[in-house]
């Protein structure tokens, strides 16, 4: 950040935006001028999920290993499901795989469903073509474990394969 002259302000959040003045106001009252504001809105389930009554404390209660909700035959995957794993696409993908496996077992009346393993990979761009990687495993041991792979140029191919293999599988691209 220092190299690129980027300021990092930990422990503060943007409380409001004054668009007319192009100012972001932090929760301690500090005002920050901006040309372009890029922000992620507060994370929550859509109103339709709240209205359904499936959410408890804001998120849908599920069995973290099978993704079954408290309603028979209803599953929840993705950010709305309270699995205890991070709310990231890679975890939604793993959870969806477990649901698909469970549905196939139920429909075909054979085999054993593969449970959600809580495993995910996250790539971190360091600039200059270097990529770091974190692999986390939430459920296979007594407590979550993680492995960090130092940023390198070699990991770029790994990241590109992560993306291209999914584009091929999901969209035939
Ligand atoms: C800035 C940012 C960066 C991220 N980076 C990563 C990353 O690098 N790696 C990673 O794994 N994850 C990343 N994530 C997280 C990832 O995007 C989410 O975990 C993932 O998209 C969750 O999938 P989902 O299907 O549960 O929800 P979503 O992708 O949010 O899909 C929900 C969909 O439901 C639609 N919807 C809402 N209400 C209704 C309604 N009433 N009727 C019909 N449709 C409705 C929404 O429009 C939306 O399309 C990032 C998220 C953000 C915000």
Q: What is the pLDDT along the chain (173 residues), one digit of tens a residue?
A: 898 899 999 999 999 999 999 999 999 999 999 999 999 888 999 999 999 999 999 999 999 999 999 999 999 999 999 999 999 999 999 999 999 999 999 999 999 999 999 999 999 999 999 999 999 999 988 999 999 999 999 999 999 999 999 999 999 99
User: Cα separation of 94 and 87, whole Å?
Assistant: 12
**90, 121 in Cβ contact below 8 A?**
yes
Q: What is the pLDDT of residue 1?
A: 87
pLDDT at 140: 87
Nearest CA to ligand 1 atom 21: 89
> Which pLDDT score is estimated for 42?
87
For the Cβ of 79 lying below 6 angstroms from any atom of ligand 1, the answer is: yes
Going across the sheet that includes 55-56, the strands are 55-56, 59-61, 81-82
Taking CB atoms within 8 Å and a gap of at least 24, the contacts of 90-96 are 90/120, 90/121, 90/122, 91/118, 91/120, 93/166, 94/118, 94/119, 94/120, 95/67
Pocket test for ligand 1, best of 55, 60, 79 (most atoms within 8 A of CB): 79
Residue 1 CA, ligand 1 centroid: distance in Å? 28
């Amino acid at each position: 950040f220092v190299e690129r002259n980027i300021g990092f302000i930990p422990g503060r959040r943007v409380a409001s935006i004054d668009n007319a003045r192009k100012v972001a106001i932090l929760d301690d009252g500090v005002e920050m001028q901006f040309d372009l504001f890029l922000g992620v809105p507060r994370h929550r389930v859509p109103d339709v999920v709240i209205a359904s009554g499936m959410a408890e404390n804001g998120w849908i209660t599920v069995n973290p290993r099978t993704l079954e909700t408290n309603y028979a035959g209803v599953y929840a995957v993705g950010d709305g499901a309270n699995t205890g794993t991070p709310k990231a696409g890679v975890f939604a993908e793993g959870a969806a795989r477990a649901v698909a496996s469970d549905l196939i077992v139920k429909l075909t009346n054979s085999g054993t469903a593969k449970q959600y393993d809580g495993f995910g990979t996250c790539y971190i761009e360091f600039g200059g073509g270097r990529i770091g990687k974190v692999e986390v495993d939430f459920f296979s041991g007594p407590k979550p474990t993680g492995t960090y792979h130092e940023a390198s140029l070699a990991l770029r191919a790994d990241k590109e394969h992560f993306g291209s293999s999914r584009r091929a599988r999901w969209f035939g691209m």
